[in-house]
Amino acid sequence: MLQTVGEWIWWDRLWLPGNLSWSALEDKEGRVYAKVSHLYASLPCALCLLVVRYLFERYFATPLANFWGIRDKIRLPAEQNPILEKYFCSQTRVPSQADVWSLCKKTGWPERRVQVWFRRRRNQERPGLRKRFSEASWRCAFYLFAFFGGILALYDKPWVYNLREVWAGFPKQSLLPSQYWYYMLEMGFYLSLVFSLTFDVKRKDFKEQVVHHMATLTLLSFSWISNFVRIGTLVMVVHDSSDILLEGAKVFNYATWQQTSNGMFVVFAVVFMVTRLIVFPFWLIHCTWVYPLELYPAFFGYYFFNVMLLVLQLLHLYWAALILRMVYKFIFTQVGLQMSLCPCIN
């Protein structure tokens, strides 16, 4: 039965155009093609990146935080109270007014004391400033490295300057070493983010981040298997370009370099709008939606890939609304961007 399911999942007509079969993508005559087995390398890559991240945060980010005088705020701990602790862990962190009155009766505490307890208990769960600084520093460093690595891998490729070249000879496009390492690096990074979700800073858009990571990994995996590698590299470099600026703005925000942080955030907002709301939908999605049909009739993999790109685009629109709201507050209310930079927009 498992063999039958596997044959159905990997049915040629699902993932490849026309009458092509997987045998057409077997290595021969010096041409190497992307294979499913290559994706296994992303797991050790993710584990290596977790180790590199640990070393980076301990031996670079922490000393840098000390040098810039970044300190965690001293927070008063919540009083010991088994009843409130049980409610906090099993029910909700933010009780309603009716729940507060009920807890007052159970504990014998006045309303104000219960409210203070919950506020202090929530503060205990919040990550410290140094942890947020270390995490933002790591992401900024990785995105910077990945972006320039992507530029080096793509700058001399014809499909960067003529998107029709993305589909020239598709799917029989030989895999380049630079494409392999760029993919494994990016897949390893997003896989490491999934592994670290439990101990990373929990942000307001946590659920959106999980959707983003899973959609990204699905897109990368599918584009690799079906040899959509050229368009995959373009999607990655477009995304990395704005992520550097956001994480850099966070780093300077935590270091209280407010003018630098504000300026970098404004630049980030412009780059985000251009790359995610103009380049991504009107160049890249157009490239994947229109040009393949000039060569082959639509097939399942064509629809699947484009639907996943649209999922990313919906997330872009959501984050763009958050960014515009932050910029509006900054410009028209003269409120700094300290609090605005808290959500992780990726």
Q: What is the dihedral of CA 220, 222, 225, 230, to 10 degrees?
A: -50
pLDDT of residue 95: 87
Cis amide leading into 171 (omega within 30): yes
Q: Check whether 217 has a pLDDT greater than 50.
A: yes
Cis amide leading into 110 (omega within 30): no
- The span from the CA of 57 to the CA of 132, in Å, is 11
List Cβ neighbours of 159 (8 Å cut-off, separation of 6 or more).
165, 166, 168, 230, 234
Q: Check whether 38 has a pLDDT greater than 60.
A: yes
Calculate what percentage of the chain has a pLDDT beyond 90: 44
Q: Is 66 helix (H, G, I), strand (E, B) or coil?
A: helix
pLDDT of residue 204: 66
pLDDT of residue 346: 42
pLDDT band, very low/low/confident/very high, at 345 (cuts 50, 70, 90): very low
CATH topology for 82-125 is Arc Repressor Mutant, subunit A (1.10.10)
Q: Check whether 182 has a pLDDT greater than 70.
A: yes
pLDDT of residue 301: 86
pLDDT band, very low/low/confident/very high, at 340 (cuts 50, 70, 90): very low
Least confident of 117-121, 161-165, 305-309: 117-121
Q: Check whether 342 has a pLDDT greater than 70.
A: no
Q: Check whether 171 has a pLDDT greater than 80.
A: yes
Tens-place pLDDT, residues 79-133: 888 888 888 888 888 888 888 888 888 888 888 888 888 888 887 777 788 989 9
What are the residue boundaries of the structural domains of the chain, listed by start? 32-68+128-330, 82-125
The mean pLDDT of 334-340, rounded to a whole number, is 49
What is 308-324 written as a DSSP string? HHHHHHHHHHHHHHHHH
Burial of 346 (0-12, 13-18, 19+ CB in 10 A): buried
pLDDT band, very low/low/confident/very high, at 3 (cuts 50, 70, 90): low
pLDDT of residue 226: 85
